[in-house]
Chain A
Amino acid sequence: MSQAATLALESRQPMPGIGVYNQKFGMWVFLLSEVMFFTGLIGSYIILRFAHPDAFTEPGRVLNVPLTAANTFILIVSSVTMVKAFASIELGDQRGLRRWLLATVLLGAVFLSIQGVEYVKLAEHGFVPMVASYAAEGAPLYGMTFYTLTGFHGAHVTIGVLCMIFVTVKAFRGRYSQADHGGVEVMGLYWHFVDLVWIILFTIVYLI
């Protein structure tokens, strides 16, 4: 029992706390702020889109829905591999942890690559966030909202992949144990969040 808990018991005072360790609680709190961030962006997209629906239907044919659907599946699978990594270390399985973490990193990287390729192809078709001379003309509404939404999500995935590499390296160095693997759990929370945001984005931007 911790020193504080002992003190509490001895003095017959309640021991405060939420029963979740700091890093995990902190990650949940941070993710709450991320929810607000994406809500602001998605809300803006919805408002702009419903004010000018005509600006959005034509480009709907430009986006590659099947490819992105496959990409969505890849991201979902990466969440599964993340869960398996966490489950492994919960059982003390170091090999499993390393294997599944590597898989998650690879899948995350594949997701980003496919997104990148799609960006390039869209740009080749003239679908860009802004008009080349950003002086007087505005931008195609669809372009700027599409790239902003998916771009910020992509940035979050990129940061996630980088952190995931860091966690994987630590795993290979044997820094996690069955008793002590908060870093893996917290990484997992972030990764699942990023996946969830993507599912929502994909639905709103590609399907509706």
Chain B
Amino acid sequence: MSTVATATAGEAQVHAGHDDRSFIRKYIFSTDHKVIGIQFLFMSLFFLVLGGLLAMGMRWQLAFPSDPAHPLPGGSLLPETMVNAGIVLPEFYNSMVTMHGTIMIFFAIMPLLVGVYANYLIPLQIGAPDMAFPRLNMASFWLAVPAAILILAGFFVEGGHAGAGWTSYPPLSVESGYSGVYNGQVLWTLSIIILGFSSLMGAVNYITTVVNMRAPGMTWFRLPLATWALFITAILILLAVPVLTGALILLLFDQVLGTAFYKPDAGGQPLLWQHLFWFFGHPEVYILILPAMGFVSEIIANGSRKPVFGYKAMVIAMISISFLGWIVWGHHMFQSGMNPLLGASFMASTMVIAVPSAIKTFNWLGTMWRGDIHFHTPMLNAMAFVGMFVIGGLSGVFLASTPVDVQLHDTYFVVAHIHYVLFGGSLFAIFAAITFWFPKMFGRMMNETLGKVHFALTFVFFNLVFFPMHRLGSNGMMRRISDPTQYEHLQAFQPTNRMISMWAFALFAAQLIFAFNFFWSLFRGKKAGPNPWRANTLEWSTPSPPPHGNFATTPVVYRGPYEYSSPESDEDYLPQDRPPAERPTPAPEPVPAGG
């Protein structure tokens, strides 16, 4: 780490152009934030598929619970300890449930939103040549790799993978006598601890970079909302992950050292884990949604050719969410046995946190209002985010009401809520972001037609899968059960469960279109210029892809990021770094066919 004390803000090194690093330094052990972002991209996409496969296994079991006439496809490839004669064993079902959640949250969505886009976008959007600490950045990715290896290893060890839920409540998660799993639980705990260090390193980097390395003229209120969102998310990571790490260390000690932090027989407290975990866990869900909100703001403004409605309100709303997010964690524990008065206070804060999200929704609508909307693939996915996030947010209000939560807690209503915000919200935003920034990353466009077909199918199937789960839950279907037909009050809903599974298989299949589009476009996509979307933020003022060092000369910023349809410009966009009252030179590229 350089100890040059005089490295002041925005110091640009004129690197761009000549790059004589070796292949290994350029693509494997690279300190370039763009390469690191792309490394995270490939890693997370792999885990997204794996997480999806686990969900398919779960849905198969729920459609045909322990039914020998419908053996699990591919079940014969798995060991008998997981799937016996095509029947999913309960321990394997618990592992699928656990690992689906764990992988999706920690190894897919979080790295897709933060590992990829905080790394890729922040220096570009603020006009910096790289992150504040490039070598720390490289370490952050390469620390995520052993975490990933450990989490995969859990599938291959004796006893199978962790099976106590992604929430890993003790005593189930600390006593192998209760869960039947030892090695898998320990690997799970170790993996997340290591991943936490990776995230923390990233957070230190993102925060320092945004604070200290913005280009001249890039004041706080000229920052793109994507950067704002990623910056606030980094602060949440910085403060929440260490608490999880502490909790996990105590869990690990209970698992392997015979301590009893969470074991009641020796004075420990299971509820201590819940408080520590959810103190992290609630900011975590905002970590999983805020960057998505940032991307959606960028893309809706771009698609509508209109400034973001209420930019400052959007910033304040994100800051409010991040503050309020620290005092709502108890709503995951309403039925845990905590004092009812404490529960009531968490209800109050939980209800209030709905408000900033509502403000953002109205501002997105306000951005589209009187716009000139082009329905390119990123815009379609971004609009779906708005529509689906609203549903997820509304279902959250039910859960926020503690008495109603009595009925809904730990049922499929919560599963519906989670997936409307994480899939309907975050994942659609990820599809939007990948498509939008693909040309910048790889110099080629993704295919628009495939993008639209993927979008349409995903949107329809997604709703068919998850909307019915609200009613399954309110009618009393508990979470994490492998056989709902055991319950008389649920037998009538088995057709619904089977139907959900069918649509889930279709939903998974539709993702093949995206996968194909992604990989095909890497090699055969239409070549992209610097600014194919006619956008304003600084990353679109560099070549696609940008050279090492990003900018040939340090950009100077003259205005905010959303000056679409400004009277100051002949075109319907006005880049942040275009000097005032200067004629634009090249003709704009046509926006990919939409609208």
Contacts and interface: CB of A to CB of B under 8 A. Distances in A.
Are A and B direct contacts in the complex by CB distance below 8 Å?
yes
B263 to A, nearest CB: 5
A57 interface: no
B212 A33 contact: no
B132 A16 contact: no
A138 B260 contact: yes
Nearest to B557: A13
B168 to A, nearest CB: 16
A89 to B, nearest CB: 11
Nearest to A15: B216
Contacts of B256: 134
Contact of B272 (A39, A48, A185): A48
B496 interface: no
B219 interface: yes
B9 A4 contact: yes
B216 A138 contact: no
Interface in A1-37: 2-5, 7-8, 11, 13-23, 25-26, 29-30, 32-34, 36-37
A99 to B, nearest CB: 20
B269 A47 contact: yes
B14 to A, nearest CB: 8
Interface string A129-147: 1110111011111001100
A26 B132 contact: yes
Per DSSP, are chain A's interface residues mostly helix, strand or loop, or mixed?
Answer: helix
Contacts of B267: 48, 51-52, 55, 138, 141
B8 interface: yes
Given A44-B250, A141-B260, A180-B4, A3 B554 contact: yes
Interface in A153-208: 175-176, 179-183, 185-186
Nearest to B580: A11
A181 B579 CA distance: 38
A134 B6 CA distance: 54
Nearest to B205: A26
Interface stretch (B238-246, B427-435, B534-542, B583-591): B238-246
Contacts of B200: 30, 33
Given A16-B214, A18-B211, A44-B246, A7 B7 contact: no
Contacts of A59: none
Interface in B1-48: 1-12
Contacts of B205: 26
A17 B211 contact: yes
Given A11-B217, A14-B217, A138-B265, A181 B3 contact: yes
B4 A144 contact: no
Interface in B526-581: 554, 556-558, 579
A153 B257 CA distance: 19
A135 B258 contact: yes
B218 to A, nearest CB: 6
Contacts of A3: 11-12, 554
Contacts of B172: none
Nearest to B559: A13
B216 A8 contact: yes
Interface string B259-279: 111010111110010011001
Nearest to B201: A30
A11 B577 CA distance: 11
A123 interface: no
Interface string A113-130: 000000000000000011
Query: Interface extent on A, as a size class?
Result: 35 or more
B558 A25 contact: no
A41 interface: yes
B208 A148 contact: no
A60 interface: no
Contacts of A140: 266
B207 to A, nearest CB: 5
A47 B272 contact: yes
A41 to B, nearest CB: 5
Interface in B222-239: 238-239
A137 B260 CA distance: 9
Contacts of B213: 17, 22
Nearest to A34: B242
Contacts of A25: 208, 211-212
Contacts of A175: 3
B203 interface: yes
A16 B558 CA distance: 13
A44 B212 CA distance: 35
A55 B213 CA distance: 52
A13 B253 contact: no
Given A13-B557, A22-B132, A37 B242 contact: yes
Contact of A141 (B11, B203, B266): B266
Contacts of A29: 203-204, 207-208, 238
- For B7, B265, B267, the residue with the greatest tally of chain A CB atoms inside 10 Å of its CB is B267
Contacts of B8: 2, 4-5, 17, 21
B247 interface: yes
A145 B211 CA distance: 38
B325 to A, nearest CB: 14
B257 A17 contact: no
Interface in B128-146: 132-133
Contacts of B5: 21, 23, 179-182, 185
Contacts of A17: 8-10, 211-214
Given A23-B1, A138-B263, A144-B260, 18 more contacts: A2-B8, A3-B11, A4-B9, A8-B216, A13-B558, A16-B215, A17-B9, A19-B9, A22-B133, A26-B133, A26-B205, A33-B238, A36-B242, A44-B272, A134-B258, A148-B250, A152-B249, A182-B3
Q: Which 4 interchain pairs have the tightest Cβ spacing?
A: A138-B266, A134-B258, A17-B9, A13-B217
11 contacts: A13-B217, A22-B133, A25-B211, A29-B238, A33-B242, A36-B243, A47-B269, A51-B269, A130-B253, A141-B260, A141-B267
